[in-house]
């Protein structure tokens, strides 16, 4: 399922899980974590969601220029 189609509570929980992951592992961004762990963004996103017992979804749509 697309991240943007998830209920708002699930989106917020997923965002919090990603933030906690970055802080816990001292990464600046998901991109840095992907490069360091040699994972694609979808693979990293799924690992984060699984660790937080959240339903699978595609990663959010990011704009590299924001």
Confirm whether pTM is higher than 0.85: yes
pLDDT value of residue 62: 73
pLDDT value of residue 65: 43
Q: How large is the angle between the packed helices 8-24 and 30-37, nearest 10 degrees?
A: 60
Query: Digits of tens for pLDDT over the chain (66 positions)?
Result: 899 999 999 999 999 999 999 999 999 999 999 999 999 999 999 999 999 999 999 999 875 544
pLDDT value of residue 63: 52
Asked if 59 and 41 touch (Cβ cutoff 8 Å), the reply is yes
pLDDT value of residue 64: 53
């Amino acid at each position: 399922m697309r991240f943007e189609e998830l209920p708002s509570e699930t989106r917020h929980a997923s965002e919090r899980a990603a933030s906690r992951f970055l802080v816990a592992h001292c990464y600046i961004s998901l991109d840095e974590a992907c490069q360091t762990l040699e994972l694609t963004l979808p693979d990293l996103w799924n690992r984060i969601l699984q660790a937080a017992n959240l339903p699978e979804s595609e990663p959010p749509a990011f704009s590299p220029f924001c």
